[in-house]
Every structure is written in structure tokens, then in C-alpha cells.
Amino acid sequence: MRSHLRFTKQEKRGIFFLLLLIAGLQFGYYLYTGQTVRNTTSNFAVDSIVTIYIDSVKTSQLLKEVQPLKVFNPNFITDYKGYVLGLAPSELDRIYAFRKQGLFVNSAREFQKVSQVSDSLLAVIGPYFKFPSWTKVADIEKDTDFVNAEYADINTASEASLQRISGIGEVLSKRIIAFRNSLGGFVDIEQLFDVYGLKPEVARRAMKLFKVISVPDIKKIPLNTATVNDLASLVYINKGLARRIVHYRDSIGQFDSIAELTKIEDFPTDRIGRIKLYLSLEKLLL
């Protein structure tokens, strides 16, 4: 046996390098497996974050289902509130577009008409709608018996009372009063149609609540003797139109009727009924 265990120096050196190589391979394998373990641990960390997120979403969904709804004004519904209530983005967009026009929904049924939500969803969320007290006026307007109700005076109406009308906000209420002041007071309720920016349907809505009760004392302008400045003092007639009226009158001698004004170029024929209220026709003796 001793003869088999004897090695030359060269063989001993070879065995030493072989053992060294084996040890190096073992150490390299250890480093590789250690790195793999670290990578695996990192991946598990990412998975845990995702799991936490999923759990939070589930918890949020659970809270939505168990959290009791509170009453709110649907005119100011938010994206989050709409999501919680189950409204589709397109349904919310219709509400937002409606509100951008300065309009308000005044009932659950009107909310459905604008947003186009389903009957089943409206039945769930409708009981939680709360509208300001002034919106009840819009509901009264739809009542056929409202024509027998007492009207308010448009010539004494405040900004707040005008804003009770759906479609009239702060800007339009100020504009109505400014127009009323420039007229010296409304003589005819249909003059609401002449307020800049006031939509016809909103004006009609206001006319269901307001009438001319205190008629202003208007000094009428004699058409056949009025100067350019006299005619231009009317809200409905500008300086250029006033000159054309006087020129036309000079060419025909005098007006036989106020309706003849409609023959003049660029005369607002659709407003002749209101303009008549401020003019008088006194024929001159020739």
C-alpha cells in the first residue's frame, strides 16, 4: 500500500492545484446560489407590495359597500362621488356639461334626464339628493295650477329673488337689474327677452314667477318731432339708427304710424312691440 501512496513532487503539485480548483468551484457555487437567494427575496418583496395594494383596493371596495350614503346636492357631484355611487364617466360628463351652461337640475327626475342614468340606479341614489330651497320654485313652475299663484314684481326684484330661477345666476341677475335701470323700469315683462345672454327658455321660466306690477312712469318720445339724441336715448335705438329714422321722416314728411319704422334699414323689427311703448305719434298740422 505504501508504494501506491508515494507521489512525485510533480504529482503532489497537480493534486494540490486540483484541490484548489475544487475549492474555487465550491466557493463560486456558493456565491451564485447566494445571489439567487437575494434576487428571489427581492422579487418576493415586490409581490408583497402588490399584495398590499390589492388588499387596500379590496378594503376600499368594502368600505364603499358598508359606508352609509349621506344626502348631497347632485349639482356639485365630484368624480369620486360619482364613482362611489356607480355613475359612468359619460354620465358624469353630461352633468358637468349641463352645469357649465350655468344650469341646475332641480329634481331627481331632471338629474336622470340630463345624466341618462338608469332607473335602477336612480332608485338607489335618488333618495339621497338634496336640493336648495330655491329649487322648489322650479318644481312649482311645472305645476299647471301655478298660473293662479301670486306673481312677484319684476321692477322690485332683488338679485337673490331672480336667482331663484333655474338658469339665472349671479351674473345674469346683475345684468337683468342693470338693464331694468337703463330702461327706467320694465314696462312689459317680455322685455326680459332683450337682456343680453338670457336664454329665451330661461326668460319664459322667469315670466312664470314675475310680472310688471309697479308700472314705471315713462315719458314717451314724440316720433314726429324727436331729434337724433332724443331717439338715441332709448335702449333699443343706437345713434346710427336714430339718424336713419330722422332722415326717413324728413323724406316722407312725417310718420303716419309707428309701424312705419320697420321700413327703415336695419330696424329691429322683432322689437317693434317694445319700442312702441316708448314712443308717441302726434301728427303735425301741415
DSSP element (H, E) containing 45: helix 9-66
> What pLDDT sits at residue 191?
94
Q: Which CATH superfamily is domain 221-280 in?
A: Photosystem II 12 kDa extrinsic protein (1.10.150.320)
Cα→Cα distances 121→88, 164, 188, 272, Å: 11, 29, 45, 50
Instruction: List, for residues 201-258, the tens digit of each pLDDT value.
Output: 999 999 988 999 998 988 899 999 999 999 999 989 999 999 999 999 999 888 989 9
Beta bridge mates, 211: 153
Domains 135-211 and 221-280 share a fold: yes
* Length of the chain, in residues: 286
Beta bridge mates, 221: 279
135-211 CATH choice from 1.10.287, 1.10.3470, 1.10.530, 1.10.150:
1.10.150
User: Is 119 a residue whose pLDDT tops 90?
Assistant: no
DSSP element (H, E) containing 93: helix 89-100
What value does the mean pLDDT of the chain take? 80
Enumerate the domain spans of the chain. 8-66, 74-131, 135-211, 221-280
Of the pLDDT bands very low, low, confident and very high (cuts 50, 70, 90), residue 194 is very high
pTM greater than 0.95 (yes/no): no
> What pLDDT sits at residue 54?
60
